[in-house]
Amino acid sequence: MATPSKKTSASKSGSSAQNGSSNKGKSKTQKTERSSPKGQDEQGLRKLLVDQMKDMLWAEKKLTTAIPKMIKKASSEELIESLTNHLEETKEQVSRLEQAFQAMNLKATAKECEAMKGLVKEAEELMEEMEEGSLRDAAIICAAQKVEHYEIATYGCLVTYSQILGETEVAELLNETLSEEKGADETLTEVSQNINWMAEEEAEEEDAE
């Protein structure tokens, strides 16, 4: 089965004769001629890929300032260590995204990610409200895992899109990042084992007083 890599031909000819009707009759009139598949006017899955890369570039940059705040509020050595480790990975992920833009001959631009903005805002509000200790650590882990899951979802899509589009280098770069995000999530789960129980014990001690 052929991959649909030549769909630009449909718009040029103005007829779908060449490919049968694989493009199931777009009723809208074509606004612009497609200059080239590598041009700035991205379309289709390629546009989705690029838009989501911009979103993630913003998100990762945001995290390079958000994670240090979480580290400051954390008490557990294990948690501090895993967050510090992931902060370093996150900085690397920013430059990996920049490399991915470069691989596509595009300027690396960031576009505000509403979701990450919200996740970070929730984390910060939560940390402000809570006293230092295991319960706050548990809350930090929960907030951090929400972030990792968001990233895993997005990078999972991006790796798939870039594979379909034949952007091998982009796929490799972002797959490496995807592995780090999954690793970070797993580490947080491990770290949480003790902390969640300590949070519960702390609460019991307070009740006993």
**Shortest separation between residue 59's beta carbon and Zn ion, angstroms:** 6
181 interacts with, out of Zn ion, Fe ion, none, CB within 5 to 8 A per kind: Fe ion
**Shortest separation between residue 46's beta carbon and Fe ion, angstroms:** 22
Task: Establish if 93 lies at the interface with Fe ion (CB under 5 A).
Answer: yes
**Shortest separation between residue 76's beta carbon and Fe ion, angstroms:** 19
Task: Establish if 82 lies at the interface with Fe ion (CB under 5 A).
Answer: no
Q: Identify which of residues 116 and 135 has a Cβ nearer to Fe ion in the complex.
A: 116
| DSSP letter string, 85-145 | HHHHHHHHHHHHHHHHHHHTT--------HHHHHHHHHHHHHHHHSPSSHHHHHHHHHHHH
12-41: which residues touch Fe ion (CB under 5 A)? none
Contact 181, 156 (CB under 8 A): no
Q: Please classify residue 81 by burial: count the beta carbons closer than 10 Å to its beta carbon, then call 0-12 exposed, 13-18 middle and 19+ buried.
A: middle
Q: Identify which of residues 148 and 167 has a Cβ nearer to Fe ion in the complex.
A: 148
Distances (CA, A) of 164 to 3, 5, 10, 158, 171: 8, 9, 19, 10, 9
Residue 179 CB: number of other CB atoms within 10 A?
Answer: 13
What stretches of the chain show up as alpha helix (H) in DSSP?
8-13, 44-73, 77-103, 114-129, 134-164, 168-208
Question: What is the number of the residue whose Cβ is closest to Zn ion?
Answer: 113
**Shortest separation between residue 81's beta carbon and Fe ion, angstroms:** 15
113 interacts with, out of Zn ion, Fe ion, none, CB within 5 to 8 A per kind: Zn ion
**Shortest separation between residue 104's beta carbon and Fe ion, angstroms:** 19
115 interacts with, out of Fe ion, Zn ion, none, CB within 5 to 8 A per kind: Zn ion
Task: Establish if 55 lies at the interface with Fe ion (CB under 5 A).
Answer: no
- Binding footprint of Fe ion on the chain (CB under 5 A): 60, 90, 93, 148, 151, 181, 184
